Structure 1
Amino acid sequence: MNDGLQLEPGIRRFLDEMRAEWRNHPPFETLSFPEQRQVAEQVRARWTSGGPVMARTTDRVLDPGAGELPLRIYLPEGVAEPAPALVYLHGGGFTLFSIETHDRLMREYAAQGGFAVIGVDYPLAPEAKYPVALDRIEALMLWLHANGRELGIDPDRLAMGGDSAGANLSFATTLRLRERGLHGIVRAILSNYGGFSARLSDEAEAKFGGPGSIMDRAEAEQYYANYLNDAGEADDPFACPINADLTGFPPVFLCIPECDIVTEQSVAMDARLRAAGVETASKLYRGAIHSFLEAMSVSALAREAIADGADFVASKLEAR
Structure 2
Amino acid sequence: MTVVLHPQTEAVLQLMMAAYPDLGVGVTDAVAARRALSRTKQPPGPELSRVQDRVIPGAPGIPVRIYWPASGSAPHPVIVYFHGGGFVLCGLDSHDAICRMLAAGVSAIVIAVDYRLAPEHKYPAAVEDAYRAVAWAHANAAELGGDPERLVVAGDSAGGNLATVTCLRARDNDGPPIAFQLLLYPWLDFLSELPSRRDNAEGYYLTANHLRWFEQQYLNEPSEAALPHVSPLRAPDLAKLPPALVITAEYDPLRDEGEAYGLRLSEAGVPTRTYRADGLFHSFLAMMDFLPGAQEAAEIACAAVRSAVSVAALSSDA
- Counterpart residue number, 1:34: 31
**CA separation in 1, counterparts of 2:23 and 2:63?**
29
Q: Which moved more, 1:8-17 or 1:216-225?
A: 8-17
SS at match of 1:30: coil
The answer on whether the counterparts of 1:247 and 1:278 sit within 8 Å (CA) in structure 2 is yes
**CA separation in 2, counterparts of 1:307 and 1:203?**
28
SS at match of 1:305: helix
Partner AA of 2:127 in structure 1: L
- Counterpart residue number, 1:315: 307
Q: Which runs of 5+ in 2 are unaligned?
A: 314-318
Equivalent residue for 1:220, pick from 200, 211, 215? 211
Distance 1:58 1:203, change over 3 A: same
Structure 1 residue 13, shift from structure 2 partner? 2.1
The answer on whether the counterparts of 1:66 and 1:136 sit within 8 Å (CA) in structure 2 is no
Partner AA of 2:75 in structure 1: P
Structure 1 residue 81, shift from structure 2 partner? 2.6
Distance 1:122 1:26, change over 3 A: closer
Moved over 4 A (4+): 25-28
**CA separation in 2, counterparts of 1:277 and 1:249?**
9
Structure 1 residue 194, shift from structure 2 partner? 0.5
Distance 1:156 1:302, change over 3 A: same
**CA separation in 2, counterparts of 1:119 and 1:194?**
17
SS at match of 1:191: strand
Equivalent residue for 2:5, pick from 7, 27, 31? 7
**CA separation in 1, counterparts of 2:308 and 2:143?**
23
**What do residues 117-140 of structure 1 show as CA deviations (whole Å, max 9, x unaligned)?**
111111101111111111122112
- Counterpart residue number, 1:62: 56
Q: Percent identity?
A: 33
The answer on whether the counterparts of 1:55 and 1:76 sit within 8 Å (CA) in structure 2 is yes
Q: Which has the higher contact order (CA 8 A, sep 6+)?
A: 1
1:87-166 correspondence to structure 2 within 5 Å: 87-166=80-159
- Counterpart residue number, 2:253: 261
Partner AA of 1:33 in structure 2: A
- Counterpart residue number, 2:278: 286
- Counterpart residue number, 1:201: 193
Equivalent residue for 2:298, pick from 295, 298, 306? 306
Structure 1 residue 271, shift from structure 2 partner? 1.6
Whether 1:85 and 2:78 are equivalent positions in the alignment is: yes
Whether 1:232 and 2:259 are equivalent positions in the alignment is: no
SS at match of 2:171: helix
The answer on whether the counterparts of 2:56 and 2:136 sit within 8 Å (CA) in structure 1 is no
**What do residues 215-258 of structure 1 show as CA deviations (whole Å, max 9, x unaligned)?**
11121122122111111111211111011111101110010111
**CA separation in 2, counterparts of 1:19 and 1:222?**
16
**CA separation in 1, counterparts of 2:26 and 2:61?**
29
Q: Which runs of 5+ in 1 are unaligned?
A: none
Partner AA of 2:100 in structure 1: R
Superposition CA RMSD, Å:
2.1
Aligned length: 311
Structure 1 residue 27, shift from structure 2 partner? 8.3
The answer on whether the counterparts of 1:7 and 1:286 sit within 8 Å (CA) in structure 2 is no
Partner AA of 1:206 in structure 2: R
Distance 1:156 1:200, change over 3 A: same
Partner AA of 2:135 in structure 1: L
What is the TM-score with the length of structure 1 in the denominator?
0.91
Structure 1 residue 94, shift from structure 2 partner? 0.4
- Counterpart residue number, 2:316: none
**What do residues 92-139 of structure 1 show as CA deviations (whole Å, max 9, x unaligned)?**
000001111111111111111111211111110111111111112211
Partner AA of 1:139 in structure 2: R
Equivalent residue for 2:65, pick from 72, 77, 85? 72
Whether 1:53 and 2:50 are equivalent positions in the alignment is: no
Structure 1 residue 8, shift from structure 2 partner? 3.7
Distance 1:205 1:102, change over 3 A: same
Partner AA of 2:33 in structure 1: Q
**CA separation in 2, counterparts of 1:198 and 1:139?**
24
The answer on whether the counterparts of 1:37 and 1:97 sit within 8 Å (CA) in structure 2 is yes
Partner AA of 2:4 in structure 1: Q
